[in-house]
Amino acid sequence: MKNLPIYFAFLFLTPLTTQAQSLAEKLGYSKEDKLLIIHGDDVGVSHSQNKATFEALKSGLVTSTSMMVPSAWSAEVGVMAKEIPDADVGIHITLTNEWNNYNWPPKAGKSVVPGLTNEKGFMYPDCPPVTANASPEEVELEIRAQIKGANEMGITPTHLDSHMGCIFYGRPEYLRSYLKIAQELKVPAMVNTQIMEGIIKPNKALFEGINLENIPVINEIIMANPEDYESGMEEFYTKQLTNLKPGVHVMLIHLAFDDEEMNAVTAGHDSYHAPWRQADFDFFTSEKAKELIQKNNIKLITWKEIGKTL
């Protein structure tokens, strides 16, 4: 896992249009404002991830998170979320289980969604086998099962997004279910201009019935890749915060501790692993990050605020 898969890089291209600038105005800001959600992905995956993510949310720079429902520690998210009034917790729609020794089956149950299940009864480790095996109906059932599961754990999601981007890089029908369900729930589902231009517009007939005009579109989704980790996370994030353009952006980070549990969860991986997540935690709870955000006039926002524009 040294490099990001090629299909994943697509998400992080420079935006093609300026459509999302109108989102800033809808939010009550000007077109020149730099608005940023700092988003802790993967909460629920482990106790270490839960503890670090909620600690970072409390410390103030991380403004939002989204939970993985099928993994073993998701109920703890419901418990920890109660400690933060008005916590911004979405659902990190999870179609994969990428870890070697720590596993989960699909939330809907393997016999209900066999196309999301490998020969051991767990989810597949990456998006391509999901695309090859999971029908759009199975993905829709699984998304609904994850939302129901989150509700049962006390979470009313503020938004939807996609673990490892499998919703975006799979069949466009997956994306249709994701947008349709978000509109039913009256919450935003993370999409950027590339997804609008590259997947939705060329398949317009498929998205009939979905109010495309009403979808809040993010300008840039920013995430470190393995080369950025090699050069140092502080350098990467300093550059990103310093050069942030006007518009509405999401910075995807992964917060956990470099501890025994997280090293065991991520065993055999050399990216998105325990020390990577500790580096994210260290930076986004640091004075340096706070100063950079202030100095560069970056306004931190939440998915809940975006949800109010719907």
Residues in contact with a copy of itself, shown as a per-residue x/- string from 236 to 265 under the rule CB under 8 A: -----------------------xxx--xx
According to the binding rule CB under 8 A, does residue 101 interact with a copy of itself?
Answer: yes
By CB under 8 A, residue 129 contacts a copy of itself: no
In what helix (H) or strand (E) does residue 148 lie, and over which residues does it extend? helix 136-152
Size of the site for a copy of itself (CB under 8 A): 32
* Cα gap 277→261, rounded to integer Å: 13
CB 205 within 8 Å of CB 197 = no
Instruction: Please give the helix or strand (H or E) that residue 231 lies within, else none.
Output: helix 226-231
Q: x/- string (CB under 8 A) for a copy of itself, residues 21-60?
A: --------------------------xx--x---------
CB of 136: closest distance to a copy of itself in angstroms? 20
Residue (107 or 254) nearer to a copy of itself, CB: 107
Q: Which stretch binds a copy of itself (CB under 8 A): 118-126, 239-247, 270-278, 288-296?
A: 118-126
- Please name the amino acid found at residue 244: L
Q: Considering beta carbons, is residue 157 or 165 the nearer one to a copy of itself?
A: 157
User: Which CB atom, from 30 or from 101, has the smaller least distance to a copy of itself?
Assistant: 101
The answer to whether 146 and 70 have CB atoms below 8 angstroms apart is yes
Choice between 47 and 180, CB closer to a copy of itself: 47
Region from 65-73, 165-173, 287-295, 298-306 binding a copy of itself, contact rule CB under 8 A: 65-73
What's the residue count for the chain? 310
Nearer to a copy of itself, 142 or 305 (CB): 142
100 binds a copy of itself (CB under 8 A): yes
Residues 24/246, Cβ–Cβ less than 8 Å? yes
Eight-state DSSP code of residue 14: P
Residues 261-290 that bind a copy of itself (CB under 8 A): 261, 264-265
Q: Which of 117, 27, 231 lies closest to 239 in space, CA to CA? A: 231
Tell me phi and psi for residue 81, to 5 degrees: -65, -30
Considering the complex, what minimum distance in angstroms separates the CB of residue 215 from a copy of itself? 31
Adjacent-strand bridge partners of 251? 38, 222
Task: Choose between 33 and 138: whose C-beta lies nearer to a copy of itself.
Answer: 138
- Please tell me whether residue 110 binds a copy of itself under the rule CB under 8 A: yes
99-104: long-range contacts (C-beta < 8 A, 24 or more apart)? 99/125, 99/265, 99/266, 99/267, 99/269, 100/267, 100/268, 100/269, 101/264, 101/265, 101/267, 101/268, 102/46, 102/264, 102/265, 104/70, 104/71, 104/72
CB of 167 to a copy of itself, least distance (A): 22
3-state secondary structure of 82: coil
Site for a copy of itself in 74-93 (CB under 8 A): 74-76, 79
C-alpha to C-alpha distance for 249 and 220, rounded to whole angstroms: 5
Residue 75: CB minimum distance to a copy of itself, A: 5
Contact positions vs a copy of itself (CB under 8 A) = 47-48, 51, 71-76, 79, 100-105, 107, 109-112, 119-121, 149, 152-153, 259-261, 264-265
